[in-house]
A and B are shown apart, each in its own frame.
Chain A
Amino acid sequence: MNLLRVELARFYARVLLWCVAVGLFVVSGLVVFDAWHSSRPPSAAAVAEAQTFYEQQLKDFEENGEQMVADCKDQQSQDPDPKADYGCDQMKPKLEYYLPYTPSFAGEGVRSLGNISMAILLVAGLMGTSFVAAEFASGAISNWLTFAPRRVPVFASKLGAAFLGVLPAVILAVGVTAGGIVLAYSSHGLLDGVTDAAWAGFRDTSLRLLAVGPIAAVAGAALAFLLRHTAAVLGVVIGWAVVWEGLLRSLIPTLQPYTVVLDVTAWVQGGTTYSVEDCGVRAPDGSMTCEYVEHTLHMTQAGLQLGGLVVVLVVVALLVFRRRDVA
């Protein structure tokens, strides 16, 4: 407990960490601005333009509508699938078809909160890494170990400090982002009729987002124990991002659910989808056709995978640090 207290005091004294955290607030601001910008109601000009277009289309429908609906129904009846629905009853134009799309709080609003997840991941991870790596780089760890020679408590207290240390910054960033998004939607009058379920979704997304920060900080700290230099950790992370998250993912799309980016997205958004191109001979003429098949990545699977990755990192880092020479 004493060790944890000392480590936390140290964490909060690191000015550099707070400079990094400022970056997080900048991203928060951008996410809120984007939410505000994209939820703006259509401008008067856009409405007028849509109105004109709608009137034209309506006139056209009044003249040729009957024929168009008949054609549509005709085609539908020829479809081998008896359940096919060509939507022939909805062919009459409506004004909202032509108005610019207005996002909903339950959909885009909740999702936009997730836009800050990568920033939290990177910033919290970097804070954890730099906190631990600085001690190896300066050699202060060796002095520290003469006072606290037991490696396991030293390791645990540093990871604990990284976990708790990033919390204020992450809570603030998520709070500012969530509050900002709510304000943005409310200022555009888009909060009326938002269901309780939507609010619950918003709250759960915020909470899951909060969890990303401290876990990323722990992972960053564990990597720093392994590699001992912030630059080395950054190198490994960038290498991973390029090779695994980028290259392999595009070469072997079925690996997508095993990428950190998709897992974090699925975790924060409460599940997500990804598509895999599926090619095969389906047509009777033997020609090859390709189609994108959409798969779902469940939140639980994503969470377990991320958790597993962090546990492995922590265990390996502990085993290495327990035996390693500190010189």
Chain B
Amino acid sequence: MGDEPAIWTRGLRKTYRSFTMREVVAVQGLDLRVPAGGVHAFLGPNGAGKTTTIRMLLGMVRPDAGEIRLLGHALPQGLEPALRHVGAVVEQPTFYPHFSGRENLMLLAVAAGVPASKVDAVLDQVGLAGRGRDRFRKYSLGMRQRLAIAATLLRDPQLVILDEPTNGLDPAGIHDVRELMRSLADQGRTVLVSSHALAEVEQVADTVSIVVRGALVAEGRVADLLGERSGTTVRVRVDETDDAAAVLRRTGWTVRDDANHLVVDGAPSAAEVNRSLVASGIYAHELSLVRPDLEAVFLDLTREVAS
């Protein structure tokens, strides 16, 4: 496939119209580029249009305008051949409640022409092997998510699309999903994972696209994006608050008092902050790097978009 991205869209638009003719512009001119291979985070606040975009990629929702290429196939003509190599979970996964998880996967396997042996393999892969024979209706939210992820793996997908997959998962489940995404990427597959919480994906994502109000506001490598936006912020707790503040200000950094802590902006790293304090004979009880939160980045980016 060469340099062909796994997902490529240009000028994608979707407006929902209700019976009352109220219009909601969900996606407006989205240019998305998901490189083949690796984990790609699709970030955006609630209502940014992530799910709508994913639905358009899967042919469930018809775009008003724009082009989509999925695994090298132009949509909508290429939808069927493309989806043979795609596994996707959209929003809350829904299966047939009267069937067990295993039976649900069996039905999908029959429809997709996948051998039945694959079903037990994928159930095992998501840690549902023991509960596969319970009815879907009785599954917990986390088990439903796992079953949905198992379903995506049935067809040995080149591209796995997960829409907020950690919704409803316990910490162990979140960890498992991350591991799974990582291992899928390591096998050479592409994973697109949508989320509104950066913390959920930043450890696992290689690249990211951020959407706000239906349009792309930033894209690139996760580390670059956060670094470029915020610089380093360090929180320090010391006994000699005033002395420490004076020391740090002398170095040229900005220092703010915040509930018995000092918040230092502009230092190259937490280690540098510690070094200057120690040099003045001040020892920190606590020193932590404040991660720029996505909310701040969003707000930043949205303001830029608006102006």
Chain A residues packing against B (C-beta within 8 Å): 2-3, 5-6, 9-10, 13-15, 138-140, 142-150, 323, 325-327
Residue B110 CB within 8 A of the other chain: yes
Residues of A within 8 A of B88 (CB): 146
Which of A13, A147, A149 is most buried by chain B, counting CB atoms within 10 A of its CB? A147
Complex CA–CA separation, A229 to B38 (angstroms): 41
5 tightest A-B contacts by CB? A139-B94, A325-B61, A326-B60, A140-B94, A6-B107
A149 is contacted by which of B16, B59, B95 (Cβ under 8 Å)?
B59
Contact present for B94 and A143 (CB under 8 Å): yes
Query: What's the interface size class on B, roughly?
Result: 20 to 34
Please, how many angstroms separate the alpha-carbon atoms of A132 and B62 in the complex?
21
Q: Which A residues lie within 8 Å of B148 (CB)? A: 143
Q: Which residues of B contact A (CB under 8 A)?
A: 16, 52, 55, 58-62, 79-80, 83, 86-88, 90-99, 107-108, 110-113, 148, 151
| B98 contacts across to A, CB distance below 8 A | 13-15
Once the chains are docked, how many angstroms separate the CA of A145 from the CA of B79? 11
| 8 Å CB contact of B90 from A6, A143, A148 | A143
B111 x A6 contact (CB < 8 A): yes
A-B interface contact total, Cβ < 8 Å:
74
Q: Tell me if B99 and A13 are in contact (CB < 8 A).
A: yes
User: Measured between alpha carbons, how far is A273 from B143 in the docked complex, in Å?
Assistant: 61
Which A residues are CB-close (under 8 A) to B95?
A: 140, 143
Instruction: Give chain A residues whose Cβ lies under 8 Å from the Cβ of B99.
Output: 10, 13
Q: Which residues of B contact A148 (CB under 8 A)?
A: 111-112
- Assess the B110–A2 pair: CB atoms within 8 A: yes
| B110-A5 in contact (CB<8A) | yes
Q: Contacts A140-B95, A142-B90: A147 and B108 contacting too (C-beta < 8 A)?
A: yes
* Sample of 6 A–B contacts (CB below 8 Å): A5-B110, A6-B111, A139-B92, A143-B90, A143-B151, A144-B108
Q: Is there an interface contact between B96 and A146, defined as CB atoms closer than 8 Å?
A: no
Complex Cα spacing A5 to B113, Å = 12
* Given A138-B94, A139-B92, A149-B79, A10 contacting B61 (CB threshold 8 A): no
**Once bound together, how far apart are the Cα atoms of A216 and B88, in whole Å?**
35
Q: State the CA gap A149–B59 with chains docked (Å).
A: 7
Q: A13-B99, A14-B98, A149-B58 are in contact. Are A3 and B111 (CB under 8 A)?
A: yes
Which of these, A3, A14, A327, contacts B60 with CB under 8 Å? A327
Residues of B within 8 A of A140 (CB): 94-96
Which residues in A have their C-beta under 8 angstroms from that of B86? Answer: 146
- Tell me the nearest residue of chain B to A154, going by C-beta: B111
Among A3, A10, A148, A327, the one with the most B-chain Cβ atoms within 10 Å of its Cβ is: A327
- In the assembled complex, the CB of B152 is this many whole angstroms from the nearest CB of chain A, namely 8
Residues of B within 8 A of A326 (CB): 55, 60-61
Cα A327 to Cα B99 with chains together (Å): 23
Interchain nearest-CB distance for A225 vs B (Å):
15
Which residue, of B16, B90, B91, has the highest number of chain A Cβ atoms within 10 A?
B90
Given contacts A13-B99, A146-B86, A149-B83, are A2 and B111 in contact (CB under 8 A)? yes
A181 to B52, CA, bound (A): 58
Q: Decide: A150 and B61 in contact? CB cutoff 8 A.
A: no
B108: A residues at CB distance < 8 A: 144, 147
CB distance from A148 to the nearest CB of B (A): 5
Expressed in whole angstroms, the Cα–Cα distance for A138 and B97 within the complex equals 9
Given known contacts A13-B99, A14-B98, A326-B60, A150 and B80 CB-to-CB distance under 8 angstroms: yes
Closest to A137 in B: B94
For B58, the chain A residues whose CB sits under 8 A away are 145-146, 149
